[in-house]
Amino acid sequence: MNSFLVRYKMGELCHVKHGYPFDGSKFDTQGKYIVLTPGNFYEKGGFKRTIGKEKWYSDEFPKEYLCHKGDLIVAMTQQAEGLLGSTAIVPEEHLYLHNQRIGLVSHNAEIVDKLYLYYLFMTKSVRKQIADSASGTKIKHTSPDKIYAVEIYIPDIDTQKKNAQLLYSLDKKIDENAYICAELESMAKTLYDYWFVQFDFPDKNGRPYRTSGGEMVWNAQLKREIPKGWNCVSLERYIAIGNTSVDPASLSNTIMEHYSIPAYDEGGYPAFESAETIQSGKYRVHKDAILVSKLNPQFKRIWDPYCITENAICSTEFMVYQAKQKKIRPFCFALVNSDGFCQHMISKAISSTGSRKRIQPDVSLTYQFAAPDTESLLLLFSEIYQPIMDKLKNTKLENHEMTKLRNWLLPMLMNGQARVE
């Protein structure tokens, strides 16, 4: 252990306060306050916004359980693998409520910097000690006393502040990029819905079609009104499935760009692996493909591949979609990323193993929607949509690289192998 580090028990550094048992029957889809849950933590640490899934609360409660911006909180219940002991910093003033499954952490400012303490909880040593002392079988729990017993080694407080600020500057940029990505995704969804769900695409005069009095006709197949001149079509009009199988084991000394379900769930960037380490057969992925998971479609895993190398493959849990006309690929991506297509996937998925549902590729192509007779509108949409896709992909790539740097620096700075001068 580095001689500049001093041994402490976590109980000497901080105090953990239990939350309030908010009445679950009073939770709502809107309100004044949001009740914090373990879902507000990333497994590796950091605050996770649950947009659209918030537990809003407007009933009476003790005001001491109203969080302040900058409060340090810790997950006391493991509702997902690796979540126990995860910390986050409350991002807004007087919006979030301190729930009973969450610990509010106060610190001894003479010994430890709060921001450094936040990162200290992210280290493997601290997480392992918390996990090893946890109680419960299916769902693990910790307690303030068990956290207090954790042993740690820390440098002087000036070094703590320098190290923590470097990590925080990276995290702040990562968060800013994540916000930009969320806004771009929202913009892309709004654009598609505005044109192809509300039918307010620009008419010949550049005005919103339906709002400006564009003629609508009833379509019996879709059971709704659609613009005159449009028809009900299925996805197979625009999409083909090109699942070309490949056995990575036959490609010795090759680095594969591997698109998998875990990689998608961990941030949406492919892993780069030696072909010899990939045991099962995969599908070949090309640059213009669109990957759509057939497994548990309620999770909506739609992937626009990076394809940095020619040796790109994906899990056979994905369907490899190919736009029949490359020039309208952006429209095809927006289409399969739409709420309507997602609901089709969910409704048509079947299960042979309980909780794991899948949709058959040919069934996915039976999705029906309204589309214009000519492609001019699809081309115009694609021209507008493509820059949004490019910006989104580039921002995600930048975040991936910064996250790798931050994850490399974290243990180096926390165990004394590196210092900020």
Read off the pLDDT of residues 199-238 as tens digits, 9 standing for 90 and up: 999 999 999 999 999 999 999 999 999 999 999 999 999 9
Q: Does residue 229 share a domain with residue 126?
A: no
Work out the average pLDDT over 51-59: 87
- Identify the residue whose tokens are 């009933």: 59
Question: Which pLDDT value is given to residue 340?
Answer: 96
**What pLDDT, on a 0 to 100 scale, did the predictor assign at position 327?**
97
pLDDT in tens, 16-44: 999 999 998 999 988 899 999 999 998 88
Cα 318 to Cα 361: distance, rounded to the nearest angstrom:
9
Mean of the pLDDT values across residues 91-116? 95
pTM above 0.85, yes or no: no
122 and 229 inside one domain:
no
- 240 has a pLDDT exceeding 80: yes
Closest C-alpha among 314, 295, 293 to residue 305: 314
State whether 216 and 364 are in the same domain.
yes
Asked if residue 179 is part of any domain, the answer here is no
Q: Check residue 91 and give its pLDDT.
A: 92
Of 154, 183, 214, the last residue of a domain is 154
**96-105, 157-166, 303-312, 330-339: which has the minimum mean pLDDT?**
303-312
For residue 129, the enclosing domain spans 6-154
Shared-domain flag, residues 212 and 148: no
What is the per-residue pLDDT for 80?
Answer: 75
Q: Are residues 228 and 368 in the same domain?
A: yes
For position 253, what pLDDT does the model report? 84
Question: Is the predicted pLDDT of residue 305 greater than 60, yes or no?
Answer: yes
Domain-embedded: residue 159: no
- Considering the chain, what is the average pLDDT of its residues? 92
Give the pairing of strands 33-35 and 96-97: parallel
Residue 106 near residue 17 (C-beta atoms within 8 A): yes
62 φ, ψ (degrees, to nearest 5): -65, 130
Q: What percent of the chain has pLDDT over 70?
A: 99
Q: How many domains does the chain have?
A: 2
Phi, psi at 147, each rounded to 5°: -70, -40
Q: Residue 420 corresponds to which tokens in the numbers above? A: 């900020």
Does 210 lie in the same domain as 118? no
Is the same domain home to 24 and 138?
yes
Three-state SS for 72?
strand
Average pLDDT over residues 257-284: 89
Q: What is the pLDDT of residue 354?
A: 66
